[in-house]
């Protein structure tokens, strides 16, 4: 199979073998229906886009029972409130805008627009999350954004001044259809602004658990510029963000309609220095990832052999990769605490570790806790300050295994 963006040749650099659908938490009473796929990634030798070699059908990942809820994190809520206010102050200041959000989830970003009376539409196929957004008062179309749904939205609502998306564009293997949809829906001088985990940060910090079914592409300024060019857009801005362990916010516009910010060239130069377009860099990343995996399993086995108690914190989708690839199950980590109600009392996909409410964490505290939601380190460590104060130790594995 060739590159999903340009048809070029894909060079494989990492292979995690058979993996479960990462957000498919399971009812322990019925473990029969789990879906598995082969998780491997390659880089296009033409446009440098990093992508998976196999695709999980979109409706297997995103459906009414999809359990991810953006609003579980206070810092993420604040991040999106700030984002929305920046839009209202900046790009959208001078008009009565229509804003479309691809992948609005529980309405975490739309909430601010709605309160300011901005005409908006969220698009998200996960009806359970979308229902939460609706209850909060946002307008949502339960659907996959693609060329067809974009045309329907354009027909019903007119052109969009801003199409925003966070942590979703990289999930959409059918990038061609998505960008054709953006082309249909976007006003002539409108912009597509989206943010996603950044390949540069993933490689720099060996955050290999960012690789799982939903993250079909790992984007960079270079691969996004090539993709934008191919589909009749121009990459006019690229800004690094601290969220989710390192993200990048891209702005695409129709060619010549916006000034290209210096940040684009600067980032392209940084990526060149980092060797981000070289397959050798990605192969080194894969080797380091394997060492981190072995270090983590070694540490957990030693601690258990010493009779230490261990729990997990954050039943993330990321953890599916590390748990299943390293063969970590309830024997090493008997439970994982997580604040998301719809995940509680289920078990993790493939590895079958029970998910428990956060109240269980202190009852009694384990001696060690593996922080699977390491991207929320600050927030969770502050919330669970008492754990460390009474002698508990956090185990982290990004950028390498270490105990805090």
Residues of this chain that interact with ligand SAH (CB under 6 A) are 58, 62, 66, 68, 70, 102-103, 105, 108, 123-126, 129, 144-146, 166-168, 171-172
Say whether residue 329 binds Zn ion (CB under 5 A). no
Cβ-proximal residue to ligand SAH, closest one:
103
290-300 as b/e, with b when 16 or more CB fall inside 10 Å?
A: eebbeebbebb
CB burial of residue 112 (10 Å; 0-12, 13-18, 19+):
buried
Nearer Cβ to ligand TYD, position 279 or 342? 342
Nearer Cβ to ligand TYD, position 264 or 315? 315
The item of Zn ion, ligand SAH, ligand TYD, none sharing an interface with residue 380, based on CB under 5 to 8 Å by kind, is ligand TYD
The item of ligand TYD, Zn ion, ligand SAH, none sharing an interface with residue 103, based on CB under 5 to 8 Å by kind, is ligand SAH
Q: Where are the alpha helices (DSSP H) in 162-220?
A: 175-185, 199-204
User: Cβ 144 to ligand SAH, closest distance in Å?
Assistant: 4
User: Cβ 111 to ligand TYD, closest distance in Å?
Assistant: 17
User: Cβ 218 to ligand SAH, closest distance in Å?
Assistant: 15
User: Cβ 137 to ligand SAH, closest distance in Å?
Assistant: 17
Q: How far apart are CA 302 and CA 307, in angstroms?
A: 9
Residues contributing to the site for ligand TYD (CB under 6 A): 68, 72-73, 314-318, 338-340, 358, 373, 375-376, 379-380, 383
Find, among 36, 47, 39, the residue nearest to 4 by Cα.
47
The item of ligand SAH, ligand TYD, Zn ion, none sharing an interface with residue 3, based on CB under 5 to 8 Å by kind, is Zn ion
Nearer Cβ to Zn ion, position 12 or 119? 12
Nearer Cβ to Zn ion, position 47 or 185? 47
The item of ligand TYD, ligand SAH, Zn ion, none sharing an interface with residue 375, based on CB under 5 to 8 Å by kind, is ligand TYD
- In the DSSP assignment, the letter for residue 46 is T
Q: How far apart are CA 256 and CA 324, in angstroms?
A: 47
Say whether residue 218 binds Zn ion (CB under 5 A). no
Which residues fall within 8 angstroms of residue 265, CB to CB, at 6 or more apart? Answer: none
Say whether residue 276 binds Zn ion (CB under 5 A). no
Pairing of strands 402-403, 393-396: antiparallel
140-141 β-sheet, strand order: 140-141, 119-123, 98-102, 160-166, 186-197, 247-253, 234-241
- Strand-pair partners of 52: 41
Residue with tokens 């602004």: 193
């Amino acid at each position: 199979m060739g590159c999903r963006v340009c048809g070029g040749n894909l060079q494989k650099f990492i292979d995690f073998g058979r993996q479960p659908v990462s957000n498919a938490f399971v009812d322990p009473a019925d473990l029969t229906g789990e879906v598995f796929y082969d998780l491997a990634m390659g880089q296009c030798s033409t446009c440098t886009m990093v992508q998976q070699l196999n695709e999980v059908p979109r409706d297997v990942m995103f459906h009414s029972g999809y359990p991810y809820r953006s609003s579980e994190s206070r810092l993420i809520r604040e991040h999106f409130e700030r984002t929305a206010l920046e839009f209202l102050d900046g790009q959208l200041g001078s008009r009565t805008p229509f804003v479309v959000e691809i992948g609005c989830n529980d309405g975490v970003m739309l909430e601010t627009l709605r309160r300011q009376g901005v005409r908006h539409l969220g698009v998200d196929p996960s009806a359970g999350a979308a229902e939460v957004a609706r209850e909060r008062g946002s307008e949502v179309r339960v659907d996959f954004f693609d060329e067809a749904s974009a045309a329907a939205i354009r027909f019903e609502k007119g052109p969009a001044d801003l199409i925003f998306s966070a942590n979703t564009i990289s999930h959409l293997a059918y990038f061609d259809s998505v960008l054709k949809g953006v082309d249909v829906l976007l006003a002539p001088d409108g912009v597509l602004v989206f943010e996603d985990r950044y390949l540069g940060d993933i490689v720099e910090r060996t955050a290999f658990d960012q690789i799982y079914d939903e993250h079909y592409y790992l984007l960079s300024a270079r691969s996004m510029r090539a993709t934008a060019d191919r589909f009749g857009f121009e990459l006019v801005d690229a800004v690094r963000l601290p969220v989710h362990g390192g993200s990048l916010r891209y702005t695409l516009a129709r060619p010549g309609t916006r000034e290209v910010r210096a940040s684009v060239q600067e980032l392209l130069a940084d990526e060149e220095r980092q060797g981000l377009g070289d397959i050798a860099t990605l192969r080194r990343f894969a080797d380091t990832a394997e060492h981190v995996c072995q270090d983590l399993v070694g540490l957990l086995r030693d601690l258990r052999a010493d009779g230490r108690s261990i729990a997990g914190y954050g039943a993330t989708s990321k953890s599916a990769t590390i748990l299943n690839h390293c063969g970590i199950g309830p024997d090493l980590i008997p439970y994982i605490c997580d604040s998301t109600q719809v995940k509680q009392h289920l078990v993790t996909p493939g590895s079958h570790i029970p998910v428990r409410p956060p109240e269980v964490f202190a009852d009694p505290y384990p001696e060690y806790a593996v922080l699977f939601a390491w991207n929320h380190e600050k927030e969770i460590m502050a919330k669970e300050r008492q754990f460390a104060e009474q002698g508990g130790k956090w185990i982290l594995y990004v950028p390498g295994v270490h105990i805090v």
